[in-house]
Structure 1
Amino acid sequence: MFRRSPAPLRLLLGLTAATALAVSLAACAPGGDSGATASDADTLITVGGQGDMQINFNPFSPSSIGGVGTIYEPLFFINKVGDAEPEPLLGVDQSWNEDGTVYTVTVRDDVTWSDGEPFTAADVAFTFSMLKDNPSINNIGFDGEVAADGDSVAFTFDSPSYVKGPDILNTVIVPEHLWADVSPTEFLDEQPVGTGAFELADFKPQAFTLAANPDYWGGEPELKAIRYISLSGNQAQADALAAGTIDWQTSPVPDIQNVPDRYPGYVNVTANQNQTVLASCASAEMGCSGPQTDPAVRQALSLAINRDQVNALAFQNTSTDISPTFVLLANQEQWISPSVVDPVVPTTPQADQARALLEGAGWALGGDGIYAKDGERLSLGVEVVTGWTDYITTIDTIAAQAREAGIEVVPVQSSWNEWTDKKQRGNFELAIDSLAQGPAPDPYYVYNNFFATTVPVGESSGNNFSRYADPDVSAAVEALQALAFDDTAAREPLMATIQDRIVADLPYIPVLTAGTSSQWNVAKFDGWPTDDDLYAFPAVWSRLDSAEVFKKLSPTGE
């Protein structure tokens, strides 16, 4: 748990599939021969990328191909789909001082790097100092001071900073003795040396292998090797699943509700985390233009959506309900304010209510069945990336539904780069996207990332591409930064302020909470997460989570 000493604080926080047919290796890590060997039965095959992979195991590089969690470990593991306490990894204890300005982490004293050098608290202090000195890789925005003393590390901030704790715990640590003399922004780290349960065994552009670390502080894993192969997209991954030449992949597959029958030996597990939205360029004051700047239009479009139909047609019924507060219903529902009358958006359309809302805001129905106001038709373009078939189906479905409420919705397809640039610059009316969760299961992170601060149209917006600007929301988010996660009495009125505003304004129109689906080989390995025990977020690309899964797997011998 996150603690304020001395009292405890509970945290509320493309290749053919033939590549994968056989693997037999002797693992040679950078520190020497690990002595590890792996057979087909205890080698897990999964997806590493598409096309030729370029070697880069620098965990802070945006083009890193792997090693986060498996080779390089963080201080603690935080399960974002659960509500349990952070699980000790390189750290064994953590606590805040009374005013939330000093965060102290105690590290393990029995850990060695894979080259045999001892791991110490100095490595932790070095890692965070390095990030602070190199803003381009400082993805957590670490701005404190850090110092090691014996087996403890103190992170000191100018003001109360409880919400920064999860980012610190999630950051992987690198060895000072190897990284002190390299440029961390350019270093490709072709021979990674970490503390993790796995080591790099071999690398080729079409596949690379990690082998079990026999000297891992937590004990050598029963899973002896992980083989990452290159596959060219969802269809290639589904084909590999059907052929039985891959053990874990994360993407939609045909007939996802019947995976055990269609793909014998495999099961599907879906976790619902990221929230699918129609994001609006909402603020006329920030330079947005179009009908979507009217909150009544955003509310009416939300009421017009038949979410049950969208879920069936676009997502194979893998999505779940969504709250207009954007509190994740699965494990954060306790933070929804009692002042919110409808904490879950309706899954069936309310076209009559949508029409009444528009007419009350001065919109008049035109002869073509579409509302208009001051000579402007209620026609909204929705930006989407070409080839994103589930999102395109979503927009097409909503377009038919919205017309029943007198709203015209038009899909606008473009490349990923164009879509991203339009969002960042504010050159859009609506864009389909998702709001990602933060480093811990708490709604603060969604509010801070997507609602708190913004810039005028034309400037790069960062996460808040809706350009939503409400001073009361921004002030409440800032106040939350100074509060411990379990300070319920102080946090609740701030949550209420944020939620009352965003439910009324709806700058992001909620669609559904998207399901992330993985299929894995239960015939070959035991220990996978289940619907009843999601001990980690079940996505192979979520590297800190997948590393925890790998450590818990045991080969069945089949």
Structure 2
Amino acid sequence: MSRLTGVSRRAAALAGAVALGLVLTGCSDNGKPAAGSDATLVAYTGQAGDYQINFNPFSPSRIGGLGTIYEPLFFFNKAKVSDPVPLLGTQQAWNADGTVLSVTLRDKVMWSDGQPFTARDVVLTFDLLKANPAINNIGYDGTAAAVDDTHVTFTFKTPAYVKGPDLLGTPIVPEHLWKTIDPTKDVVEKPVGTGAYLLKDFKPQAFTYSPNPGYWGGQPKIKTIRFLALSGNQAGADGIAAGTIDWQTGPIPDMQNTHKRFPNYDAYTQYQNQMVLATCSSAAMGCAGPQTDPDVRHAIYSAINRTQLNKLAFQDTAGPISPAFTLTPSQDKFVSPTVQDKTASMNAQPDQTARILEKAGWAKGTDGIYAKGGQRLSLTVEVVTGWTDYITAIDTMAAQLKTAGIELRAAQSSWNEWTQKKGSGKFQLVIDSLGQGPAPDPYYLYTYFFDSGSGAKVGENAGNNFSRYANPQVDAALDKLATLPLDDQAARQSYFDTIQQAVTRDMPYIPVMTGGTTSVWNTAKFTGWPSDNDLYAFPAVWSAMDAAEVFKRLTPAS
């Protein structure tokens, strides 16, 4: 659930003429749709380096399939408050005390290999989550039972209202195949799902979807979707300029004037993902380095000039961020009165950085960098090669922090290596962003990224809590929140207060900015994209469940 940022999010691109050739299908030499084109939609998610085939929906190294191949019971729109959209489920309801969730399943749905979809598939999926903590990022601890082929119940020991959106949004896998698959280790090369698309072919440089002829929802109008593996943002911008990429979520130069520069395209921005310098925070869990000291984390936080950073790295498309990790302003009502600063300072505060470090026993060396006990205050930030906005952000922050006496360096690697380091805890800092949950409520971000249950010791694979943060008070508050209805603000706020006091004090994720997630898409070739008037999904190509809904809504323009 990470890997999600603003203008930043995942837009690298074409690797020279050979890669460019991969995206020319269905286009004329000038990049406009060719006569007789099959209107292939070419998508770029930010994949830097070749794909390694894996369509295991529970694997952190999966490359696709969520939503398009593997459907959940319902779709939840992260972009705005709205009712869940029925998919494999048609109705859902809690009992009076929030301990039993009953779901009616869609009848006569078939898996893409011709086998019928039933409640047994749902039960198997959730049994897999419960039996394998490494893939149980939603903290599922219920008991699933098939009432009959089209009805399933989820029973919990205590009220579990808040688990509903995550549970209902989990991808469902076929029992007849997955009863012999290890979801934590096995690579899936031939995915079988109920979704609108099938995997047509795979190459390390690109993979392609084609319509599922037996899809219960009818044939999608987009007949071919090609996902590219590219080299960097500059190549992605070149692909937009050439008309050879139809949808990417990430930066291009002068993004605010996209339609003026490229009349076949429009750009659309949504504010959702909170960019951070995530730390391997816990020495007790095996993390090593100065970033394990909360004082160091606060010193970095106060040394960032966010106004300059926004201009140089994000084309002024990012917004303020709260140290309490509530989206501002939409979630301001959840902010505890004990949180002194509702949003991070947009300007650097070098005096505060100095006070924090010197009080903690750090002293500046002759090179201008603080040191303590013979250790210089030098930190390395992991970033994916080709994520030029994030690389620029690190370079900008490095210059800012050097002035404040902190050395910051970037370590670039492939997406696969970056993911491995993050999951295993083999890092000091990682630049990434914390994604929001299925409902516009801070509970989900807190339980994803601050719950010790989704952490792990260094060397073991963590879930969403890759910072390895562990705080018993936070865990207890999350447990209490899980028992309360989402609309009971009065009962919930004291637990939010507890969490926010802890996370603003401990700061395992150093807040950078809220990313303005900007997509650039081809409006001359396809119609039906999300808009202010019809924001039916969060419009980011790398947000897989949302992208799957977009693909089903689009229509070739010709």
TM bracket (short chain): 0.7 to 0.9
Alpha-carbon distance change, 216 to 410 in structure 1, aligned in 2, over 3 angstroms: closer
Task: Report the more deviating stretch, 458-467 or 332-341.
Answer: 458-467
**Deviation of 1:528 (Å):** 0.6
Matched residue type, 1:149: V
Matched residue type, 2:492: R
Q: How high is the TM-score relative to the length of structure 1?
A: 0.81
**Deviation of 1:523 (Å):** 1.1
User: Is this contact kept in 1: 2:281–2:292, CA < 8 A?
Assistant: yes
The answer to whether residue 41 in structure 2 is matched with residue 44 in structure 1 is yes
Which consecutive unaligned segments of at least 5 residues does structure 1 have? 1-13, 25-37
The answer to whether residue 254 in structure 2 is matched with residue 251 in structure 1 is no
Matched residue of 1:339: which SS? coil
CA distance in 2, matches of 1:101, 1:148: 16
Matched residue type, 1:257: Q
CA distance in 2, matches of 1:108, 1:457: 42
Matched residue of 2:531: which SS? coil
Match of 2:310 in 1: 311
CA distance in 1, matches of 2:216, 2:424: 48
Match of 1:32 in 2: none
Matched residue type, 1:69: G
Alpha-carbon distance change, 228 to 92 in structure 1, aligned in 2, over 3 angstroms: same
Match of 1:526 in 2: 527
Alpha-carbon distance change, 494 to 19 in structure 1, aligned in 2, over 3 angstroms: same
Which consecutive unaligned segments of at least 5 residues does structure 2 have? 1-14, 28-34
CA distance in 2, matches of 1:246, 1:439: 29
Q: How high is the TM-score relative to the length of structure 2?
A: 0.81
**Deviation of 1:220 (Å):** 3.3
User: Is this contact kept in 1: 2:424–2:458, CA < 8 A?
Assistant: yes
CA distance in 1, matches of 2:212, 2:87: 15
Match of 1:515 in 2: 516
Q: What CA deviation, in whole Å up to 9, does each residue of 1:280-328 have, x standing for no partner?
A: 4545666766655554443343222110101111222222211000112
Matched residue type, 1:527: G
User: Is this contact kept in 1: 2:138–2:448, CA < 8 A?
Assistant: no
Spell out the pairing of 1:325-474 with structure 2 (5 A cutoff): 325-329=324-328, 331-358=330-357, 379-385=377-383, 387=385, 388-405=387-404, 407-413=405-411, 415=413, 430-453=429-452, 463-474=464-475
**Deviation of 1:551 (Å):** 1.4
**Deviation of 1:139 (Å):** 5.5
CA distance in 1, matches of 2:399, 2:54: 46
Alpha-carbon distance change, 294 to 69 in structure 1, aligned in 2, over 3 angstroms: closer
Matched residue type, 1:536: A
Matched residue type, 1:556: A
Task: Report the more deviating stretch, 410-419 or 265-274.
Answer: 410-419
CA distance in 2, matches of 1:293, 1:325: 19
Matched residue type, 1:158: K
Alpha-carbon distance change, 455 to 219 in structure 1, aligned in 2, over 3 angstroms: closer
Q: What CA deviation, in whole Å up to 9, does each residue of 1:85-144 have, x standing for no partner?
A: 322112122122233322211122354445665543333234334555566665655443
User: Is this contact kept in 1: 2:74–2:88, CA < 8 A?
Assistant: yes
Q: What CA deviation, in whole Å up to 9, does each residue of 1:377-426 have, x standing for no partner?
A: 77232323373543343233223333444x22231526467766776676
Matched residue of 1:16: which SS? helix
Question: 1:70 aligned to 62, 68, 80, which one?
Answer: 68
Larger radius of gyration: 1
**Deviation of 1:275 (Å):** 2.0
Question: 1:89 aligned to 77, 87, 90, which one?
Answer: 87
CA distance in 2, matches of 1:138, 1:199: 26
User: Is this contact kept in 2: 1:305–1:398, CA < 8 A?
Assistant: yes
Match of 1:270 in 2: 269
Match of 1:170 in 2: 169
The answer to whether residue 557 in structure 2 is matched with residue 556 in structure 1 is yes
**Deviation of 1:183 (Å):** 3.5
CA RMSD in angstroms comes to 3.7
CA distance in 1, matches of 2:173, 2:69: 10
User: Is this contact kept in 1: 2:19–2:205, CA < 8 A?
Assistant: no
Q: What CA deviation, in whole Å up to 9, does each residue of 1:450-493 have, x standing for no partner?
A: 33326666776654454444332232122222223222222110
User: Is this contact kept in 2: 1:382–1:432, CA < 8 A?
Assistant: no
Alpha-carbon distance change, 500 to 41 in structure 1, aligned in 2, over 3 angstroms: same
CA distance in 2, matches of 1:503, 1:486: 25
Q: What CA deviation, in whole Å up to 9, does each residue of 1:317-375 have, x standing for no partner?
A: 222211000112264333222332321111122333444455566666667655566x6
User: Is this contact kept in 2: 1:383–1:419, CA < 8 A?
Assistant: no
Matched residue of 2:78: which SS? coil
**Deviation of 1:522 (Å):** 0.6
Match of 2:31 in 1: none
CA distance in 2, matches of 1:153, 1:427: 41
User: Is this contact kept in 2: 1:18–1:245, CA < 8 A?
Assistant: no
Match of 1:161 in 2: 160
Matched residue of 1:94: which SS? strand
Matched residue of 2:158: which SS? coil
Name which structure has the greater RCO, CA cutoff 8 Å, separation 6+: 2
CA distance in 2, matches of 1:345, 1:327: 12
Alpha-carbon distance change, 434 to 101 in structure 1, aligned in 2, over 3 angstroms: same
User: Is this contact kept in 2: 1:161–1:482, CA < 8 A?
Assistant: yes
Match of 2:118 in 1: 120
Matched residue of 1:498: which SS? helix
Task: Count residues with an aligned counterpart.
Answer: 527
Match of 1:241 in 2: 240
Match of 2:259 in 1: 260
Matched residue of 1:245: which SS? coil
Matched residue of 2:269: which SS? strand
User: Is this contact kept in 2: 1:175–1:193, CA < 8 A?
Assistant: yes
Matched residue type, 1:95: A
Question: 1:98 aligned to 80, 87, 96, which one?
Answer: 96
Matched residue of 2:277: which SS? strand
Match of 1:538 in 2: 539
Alpha-carbon distance change, 230 to 352 in structure 1, aligned in 2, over 3 angstroms: closer
CA distance in 2, matches of 1:18, 1:286: 47
Alpha-carbon distance change, 272 to 122 in structure 1, aligned in 2, over 3 angstroms: same
**Deviation of 1:550 (Å):** 1.1
User: Is this contact kept in 1: 2:137–2:463, CA < 8 A?
Assistant: no
Alpha-carbon distance change, 194 to 517 in structure 1, aligned in 2, over 3 angstroms: same
Alpha-carbon distance change, 234 to 284 in structure 1, aligned in 2, over 3 angstroms: closer
CA distance in 2, matches of 1:51, 1:431: 19
User: Is this contact kept in 2: 1:269–1:531, CA < 8 A?
Assistant: no
